[in-house]
């Protein structure tokens, strides 16, 4: 049923929607805009997204989330030393600074992520996947003797990704990345001990 051509068409629709949303915001983007930009008809659109606008927005959320994961590589998959954690932190802070209040995933999750069970399922799964990657890093860092072995790795990972979301949330409200840097540094100091120890 999903041919290579079908996958390509669906992907073209998702990328067109992502581009529209990046330019104009979630609320201003209509299915007609996305059809026009992607060169697809309404019937094709409803073939790939039978539930309509929200289903498309969730596919765009997953698409933007892949970018966010990719932006964190290769650091996210190699969190084992203080140097690696600090590089990862700096990549996150720099990416957020560059995007300013226009973080595509942050905007999307804020706009679509709150109300429906489908949206909650997607964001919950993204959070879980990110938390698992960070937890793996914490466990590796503990095994390498560079992090306090008494810390609960999963709960600490939950704290770290929540801290980042808070930093993004403050960034969206104020335009400044300082709070993101402060909270993420506090988490790393707690995980790794103060610099120089």
Q: Which of 7, 32, 124, 144: binder of a copy of itself (CB under 8 A)? A: 124
Q: How far apart are CA 104 and CA 64, in angstroms?
A: 7
CB of 174 to a copy of itself, least distance (A): 5
- Cis before 94 (ω within 30): no
Q: Closer to a copy of itself at the Cβ: 11 or 185?
A: 185
Site string for a copy of itself, 11-50 (x = CB under 8 A): ----------------x-----------------------
Contact 33, 20 (CB under 8 A): yes
Q: Of 153-172, which residues contact a copy of itself (CB under 8 A)?
A: 155-156, 158-170, 172
Q: Closer to a copy of itself at the Cβ: 73 or 173?
A: 173
Site string for a copy of itself, 70-109 (x = CB under 8 A): -------------------------------x-----x-x
CA quadruple 183, 184, 185, 190: dihedral sign: positive
Q: Report if residue 195 touches a copy of itself, rule: CB under 8 A.
A: no
- Residue reference for tokens 């999963």: 154
Q: Which of 28, 83, 182, 195: binder of a copy of itself (CB under 8 A)? A: 182
Q: Which of 110, 118, 133, 192: binder of a copy of itself (CB under 8 A)? A: 110
Q: Return contacts of 190-195, CB within 8 angstroms, 24+ apart.
A: 190/151, 190/156, 191/85, 191/138, 191/141, 191/147, 191/148, 191/151, 191/156, 191/160, 192/82, 192/85, 192/141, 192/146, 192/147, 193/148, 195/82
Calculated CA dihedral for residues 59, 60, 61, 65, nearest 10 degrees = 110
* Residue ranges in contact with a copy of itself by CB under 8 A: 27, 101, 107, 109-110, 113-114, 119-120, 123-124, 127, 150, 155-156, 158-170, 172-175, 178-180, 182-183, 185-187, 189-190, 194
């Amino acid at each position: 049923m999903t041919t290579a051509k079908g996958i390509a068409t669906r992907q073209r629709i998702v990328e067109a929607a992502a581009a529209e949303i990046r330019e104009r915001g979630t609320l201003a983007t209509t299915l007609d805009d996305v059809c026009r930009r992607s060169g697809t008809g309404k019937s094709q659109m409803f073939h790939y997204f039978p539930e309509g606008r929200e289903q498309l927005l969730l596919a765009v959320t997953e698409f933007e989330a892949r970018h966010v994961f990719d932006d964190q590589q290769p650091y996210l998959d190699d969190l084992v030393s203080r140097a690696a954690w600090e590089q990862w932190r700096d990549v996150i802070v720099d990416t957020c600074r560059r995007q300013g209040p226009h973080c595509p995933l942050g905007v999307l999750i804020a706009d679509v992520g709150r109300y429906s069970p489908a949206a909650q399922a997607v964001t919950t799964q993204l959070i879980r996947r990110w938390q698992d990657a960070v937890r793996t890093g914490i466990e590796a860092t503990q095994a390498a003797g560079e992090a306090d072995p008494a810390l609960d790795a999963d709960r600490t990972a939950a704290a770290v990704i929540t801290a980042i979301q808070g930093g993004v949330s403050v960034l969206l409200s104020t335009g400044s990345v300082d709070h993101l840097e402060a909270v993420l540094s506090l988490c790393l100091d707690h995980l790794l001990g103060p610099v120089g120890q």
